[in-house]
Structures are given as structure tokens and as C-alpha cells.
Amino acid sequence: MLDVSRAILPLLLLLAFFAVKKYLAYREIVRTINDWPGFRTVFSERFLFFPFRVRGISPGHQWPFYSKHAEFARTGWDVVASVNLLPSPDLTLYVADPAIAKEIIGARARFPKPLETYALLATFGTNILVTEGEEWKRQRKIAAPAFSERNNKLVWDESFRIVDDMFENVWKNKDVVELDHVMDLTVPITLMVIGAASFGRRMSWNEDSIAPAGHTMTFKDALHEVSHRLFLSIIFPQWVLRLGNAKMRYFARAYGELDTYLKEMVQERRELGKKQESHDLFNSLLDANEGELESDARLTDSALLGNVFVFLVAGYETTSHTLAYAFIFLALYQEEQEKYYQSLKAAMPADRAPEYEELNSFAYSLAVFNETLRHFPPVIGIPKSNVEDTVLTVTNAAGEKRSLPIPRGTYIAICTPGLHNNPRYWDDPEAFKPERFLGNYPRDAFLPFSGGPRGCIGRGFAETEAVAVLTAIMSKYKVEVREEARFAGETFAQRKARLFKSQHSLTVYPERAPLVFRRR
């Protein structure tokens, strides 16, 4: 018994030594930042086992989505400091101050992107999102020309074609169309737009239901599954996924199918060479990569596939989910929908679909999209880090200023829900008011596509698609919430909370929102 005690005692002393060491490091961080208000917890918010806040244990990695600006209002400052003890003492800063956000985004050398947070998006290869410095510049130089006015026109034309095809062959020009979930509408539309405008793969609503030769899954199904459950590829290696439960095996199959599709498309376009004239993203990217560049300046096949995959996921997920939220907002807020419809009536040509050159006539459609993005930004935290010790000057609502010292290597998240709901810059931020985007608005407090040099390269693509889809559908149909007996008697607040109940994949999306579309 004595021998066992002698063996355990050194172990206990060692554990006590490490515990004291961690606590002292934790206290040193708190001292360094002058005990700036925020969270003091055992685990970091990046410890994914706690999605929601557990006081004293973890802020929860989804807290910005649910708290919006409330936590900043509680502390009285538009920067919140989160200090955790485990797994190692660490500091995270959350920023909802547009001036500070602009400073951080604009100073790329001082505040680079922490690339490890983007590992999930390097699944198919390095790409423009997961690189920094000279490598990022090289990739952006090759990718940027693909996002051209010619491509935007293709996006516009294909969006109207796809919606018209839906009216005729899916909705059958019925007066009333009931949907169990709004994403049954927005997901296929955006997948088909991506297929046509990104890859020159035109799909109709009545085809692409059977996998082509050499495949066990359609391109559309493979893309949807991989983007929806991409987190599995980080948690588990492929061999584990292939031996796992039914969902894991299905994801592994989809992952392999999508990889094969992408490689086939690269090979097919190379064999066609210049014989195929097309303005889709994929063709333009290949042309830029294999044109007059020196061989060592070109993207490798891995980087080419990596960029194509990011364009796919970003283009599909962000737009389909934001459009889903937009239709929910319009269904809930009938007065706002009527204002929007009257603007469409005034702008729509009488005898034809609007042309891309008339896009600016549909500013109200873009305003609806932007107001939806303000409420539901695709990314709830734009990650940055600082490469040197620095000091930020923070100003509160009363005009008081305080200096916040930030030690080198601090993880910084520009909190888009906090920024987009900051009452210092947005009047009645909880309300749905698309008109706020028809005039001057606080652009530095609106970052759904990030900003500065690292701003989203596909912003024009997404905006063009959203304006076209909203215009095409809402000019012909009125949208309402579908009535269900089990929810009879619910208040407006309860209905709103139910329809906006969300899940998280790469971006947030509504869990279930049954809607009705009525022909005008």
C-alpha cells in the first residue's frame, strides 16, 4: 500500500504543477488585456462539444448566431474578450465595431487569416480561401477573370430559364403550390444555376435523376451531400467513413463520386481545348490557367480542383440558404412583400423576361437579399489573427474610449451577427426592412461577403443569381406561410421562431419552413 502511495504522490504533484501553470498563464492573459469584459470559461468556444453557452464552462461555438448584439450590449463595448483555461489558456476577441473591423480587414499583413480554421475547405485541394501571401495573389490572379460580366449575364439568363422551366414542368402553372420546406425550392434552383453557369452543365427539373455511366450518383446529389456534411471528412478518415453507419457510407460514396466528376470535367475540357466557346466559370478558369502563363505560375491539378470545389460549395450553400430565409421573411411580413411586389410591377417588362442589362432596375430585389443577409450572414465569424503585439482603440456608445492591448497570436473573429445588429448603426435592427438598403446604409457595418482585398470573389455571381430568382418568382407568385392544424393559435413571435429555427453546416439554414405560393 505504501509503494502505491509513493507512486501516486509524484503523479499528483505533477498534475498540480501543470494545473497551477495553466492557471497562471490564464491569469496573465486576463492581466494583459486589462481584464477586458467578456467570457471567462474553462473551455474555448472552438471546443465544438458545446454548441450553446454553458456559463463558466464554454461560450458555445454558436453563441454569436443566437446572441447577435446582446452580449456586446451587456458588456457595454463592441469588442468582447473570451479567455479560456483549456485545452490551453487562450484569448479570442469578438468584434462588432465597424471601424475596428475595417482596420483589421484592411491590414492584411498585420491581421492575416488563420489558415488552420479553413482546413475543411481544403478537402479537394488548396484554393483561394485557404492561402495567404504570394500564393493567394497567384491564385486570385488566375481565378478573378472567371468572375466576369459575361459570366454574370450567363447566371442571369440561366436563372430565369430554370425558374420558367420550374413554373411549366414542376408547378404546372398551378394557381396554388404548397411546399413542405422552402429549401425544396431553393436548393435545386441554385444547384442548377451552379451547374450551368459554373460548369456549362445545363440541367432541367425533369432530368439528371439517373446517374450517368461510370457513376452511382448524379452530380447534383453528390454535390449536395458533400457540401451538407463536409465536416465528416475532418472528423473521420475516408476508410472509417466507408465502414461507418449508413449516413457515413453515403457521404463517403458522394465524396468519391464528386471527386471523380471534377476530375472528369477537367480532363474533358482539356481534350476539347478551345473548340468549346463558353463563359462558365470552369471554362474561364481553365483558359486563364492554361493560357499564356509560364508553367510554374499555373495552378496544379489539385489547386484547380480545390478552387472549383470552393466555388461550387460557396455558390450553392450561401445562395440557396439565403434565398430560403428571404422567402420566409416575405411570407411573414406581408406588408413588406406588397411593397416589394409593387416595385417589381413597375420595373418588369410587359411582354418578356428582363435582360441582364436591366439588372439595376431591380434594386428592391437586391435590397430584399441584402436585408436577409443582414439577419442571416452565411459566416457568423470572419477569422483573423495578429502577427505582432498591437493595441486597438475601442469607443462605446457614450463616446468613451479605451485602449485594448492584444498580444501576438490572438484569434480574432469579426462577429457579423453582432455587427449587423448593432443599434448604433442600424435603426430597429430586429425588424425586416429591405428599404434600408435602397439608400445610404452603413456599409462598414455590413460584411456578409467579408471585405477588403479578401472579400468574396463570387459576390457578383451570388447577387446576380439572387436578384434574378427573387424577381422571376415574386413577380408572378405571392408567398405565404402554410397553415398547419398543429400550430393553430400560435403567436406571430412563435411562428417566426419556428420558421427561423436553424441548423448549421458550412453555413446556417432553416430546419423546416412550409410555405405556399399563390399565383398573382
Per-residue pLDDT tens for 420-447? 999 999 999 999 999 999 999 999 999 9
Given strand 477-481, what is the order of strands in its sheet?
176-179, 515-519, 477-481
Nearest of 475, 438, 461, 460 to residue 354 by alpha carbon:
475
Angle at 504 between CA 501 and CA 506, to 5 degrees: 145
Residue 498 cell numbers, joined: 419556428
Nearest of 383, 369, 380 to residue 420 by alpha carbon:
380
The rounded distance, in Å, linking the Cα atoms of 188 and 219 is 12
| pTM, entire model | 0.91
Nearest of 55, 58, 63, 48 to residue 94 by alpha carbon:
63
- Could you report the per-residue pLDDT of 227-260, keeping only the tens digit for each? 778 778 767 878 888 888 998 899 899 988 988 8
Residue 456 known to bind ligand? yes
Domains of the chain: 1-125+383-429 (no CATH), 133-379+448-519 (1.10.630.10)
Structural contact between residues 22 and 85, judged by C-beta atoms closer than 8 angstroms: yes
Of the listed ranges 68-77, 213-222, 327-336, 398-407, the one predicted with least confidence = 213-222
The rounded distance, in Å, linking the Cα atoms of 387 and 45 is 21
Nearest of 453, 384, 455, 452 to residue 137 by alpha carbon:
453
Residue 447 cell numbers, joined: 460584411
The rounded distance, in Å, linking the Cα atoms of 162 and 469 is 9
Of the listed ranges 53-62, 68-77, 404-413, the one predicted with least confidence = 53-62
Question: Which helix (H) or strand (E) covers residue 415, if one does?
Answer: strand 411-415
Q: How is the chain split among helix, strand and coil, in percent rounded to 5?
A: 55, 15, 35
